[in-house]
Structures are given as structure tokens and as C-alpha cells.
Amino acid sequence: KFDLIEEAEKAFKLIEEKDVISWNTIIAACSHCADYAKGLSVFKEMTKENGARPDDFTYASALTACAGLASICHGRQIHAHLIRTRLDEDVGVGNALVNMYAKCGCIGHAYSVFNQMGCHNLVSWNSIIAGFGNHGLGGKTLQLFEQMKEIGLQPDSVTFIGLLTACNHAGLVDEGQAYFNSMTEIYGIAPDIEHFSCLIDLLGRAGRLNEANEYMEKFPFGHDPVVLGSLLSACRLRGDVVIGERLARRLLKLPSVTTSPYVLLSNLYASDGIWEGVAEARKMLKGSGLKKEPGHSLIEVKGIVEKFTIGDFSHSRIKEIVDILKTLSWTGDEVLYIIN
């Protein structure tokens, strides 16, 4: 719980007779520390041992690791094993399957598992609502929420994160604003920073910058760097230099941990042709001592997650990758320029 996974591993190895609780604890610890690959590795090791058999908690934890890695290959293997060996499915395992399929991009499979579950709890509904919401299927998400209410289940804080995310991805601005307001007015749930960030991002993307600014004055999260950065990004997209400059000043007063505010401000000035402002923003970035972290992409190939970082061409199969890029209508000159 203190994110000391190496110490947890050392303690685990010292246990001479490991039972199912020992294994479950270390697998869950790996997921808690976001070391999902290690969690799956421990799960595989457990299945080869004769001393302890995996239980429902084990499978739920392993599926959580698959979801964290977006590893559909491993997730399907565990699901197939469950179908063959466990006739009575635990609701926790069912929820983990729904979450795994949704986070691996297979929302159809997630919904199929959800419908096949013998019973649902609030976590089940939250998982499928979040799944459809993250896939941009706003209409279906809101429909599921209405179904949940019809059977008498009351939403919680997590439910509204899924709803607001759905509205954000689907551009349902008025609906999202209504859900946010209903949290306190109808359900007595105090919004936290995640709900607020969703709302500000939703209003910002829709160009309703003044409304977003009003919410920032009402709630205590108005000085959060993530919220300020989200609205500043919206100002850049909409070309609103006035509100953008005001937000940037507030953001730059906070302790800087990322280059984003400087880059956003520079881009905002550039979009309006204010080149002196661009130069000043870049000068401030240089003076801050911060460096922009290179972007990266993750892709699963035959069950192995590969990481590709901008500017890094050390991959062992880079020549094959370049050849494929050429077949995708890239010109040879462009490819050679990138490699060199």
C-alpha cells in the first residue's frame, strides 16, 4: 500500500508455505503499484505451483492486470479457463471480465459478459457504464443509467465519472452539465476533482468557455493544474487569447512539474499570430529548466506489449517497420528523413 513493491516481493519470497492468500496479496499488490506485467507473471507462477489453487479473488486480480496492460490475449485465455473449470461465476469475477474487455477495446464482449451474469451489483453497472462511456457511445451509456435506476440502484460517485466521461466523448454538453448539477441537487454526492475536470473539459471542447470559467469560480478545484490546463487547451483550440492568457498566468504561478502550460500558451499566441508572445512563452519554458517528455505508444504483438518512443529507433525490427511504412503510402524520402 506504500508502493514498495520490491519490499513486498522480498517478504513474499520469505514465506516458505505460500497459501492462496499469500499469492492473492502479491498479485493485488502488483496491480496496486501499476506493475501489471509482474502481476500476470506471478499469476502464471501460481498456476504452476501445486500448493495453492487460484480462487475467485485470484482470477479477478489477474483480469485487473490484463485490463491494466490492455492485454486481450491473456484476458481471453483466463476467460476460456474460467468457462471450462468454473460453472458458478462469482459476481466479482464477472465484473473483472466486463472491465477487462471494455479496457481492451472489446465493448461488445464486455456487454455480452454483462448480460450473461446471473446477478449485478453497483460495480457491475458502473463497469459497463464506464466501458460504453469510454468508447464514445453516449446514448447507450445514458440508456444503461436509466435501466440501473429502474431496478432501484442508486448511483455513486463512480457512476457519475462514467456518465460525465460518456457525455464528454459524445459531445452531450447539456446532458453532462445536468448530470453534474444533479449530483448535489438530487443524489447528495459532492463532486470531486475527477467530476469537475470532466465538466470543464466538456464545456471547453464545446466552446462554452465563460460557463466553464464560472464553474471554476464556484468550486474549490479552480486552481488545480489539470483543470486549468484543460481549459487553457480549449482556449487554444477556440483561439480565445483573453481567457487563455488569464488562465496561463494562474497556471504559471503554481509549482511547475510539466512543460504543458508553456507549450499551450505558446501555441495559443501562435494561433492568433502574436509572435512576441510565442517568443516570451518559449523563453519562460527555457528558464524553467523543464524538458518535454517524449510521447510514446504501446501496442500488443502476439501477447507481448511493445513500446515505441518518439525519436527512439533502437527497436530490433526497425527495418521491417520501415518497410511496412513504405507500403502504407509513405514516400521513401520521408521515411529516410525520420530514420536519419
pLDDT tens-digit readout, 23-61: 888 888 888 888 888 888 889 888 887 667 888 999 999
**pLDDT tier for residue 2 given thresholds of 50, 70 and 90:** low
Long-range contacts of 324-329 (CB under 8 A, 24+ apart): none
Distances in Å between the alpha carbon of 18 and those of 46, 129, 230?
10, 38, 47
For residues 6 and 10, give the distance between their C-alpha atoms in angstroms, rounded to a whole number. 6
Amino acid letter, 281: A
* pTM (predicted TM-score): 0.76
Checking if the pLDDT of 164 tops 80, the result is yes
**Can you list the domains of the chain with their CATH numbers?**
1-117 (1.25.40.10), 120-191 (no CATH)
For residues 327 and 56, give the distance between their C-alpha atoms in angstroms, rounded to a whole number. 47
Residues 114, 120, 126, 127, CA torsion sign: negative
Would you state the cell numbers that stand for residue 184, as one nine-digit string? 448535489
Nearest to residue 77, comparing CAs of 97, 53, 91, 94? Answer: 97
What's 301's DSSP letter?
E
Query: Do the beta carbons of residue 223 and residue 249 sit within 8 Å?
Result: no
163-188 residues labelled b (16+ CB within 10 A) or e (exposed): bbbbbbbbebbebbbebbeebeeeee
pLDDT at residue 288 in the model: 62
- In tens, the pLDDT along 178-224 reads 999 999 999 999 999 999 989 999 998 898 988 988 888 888 887 78
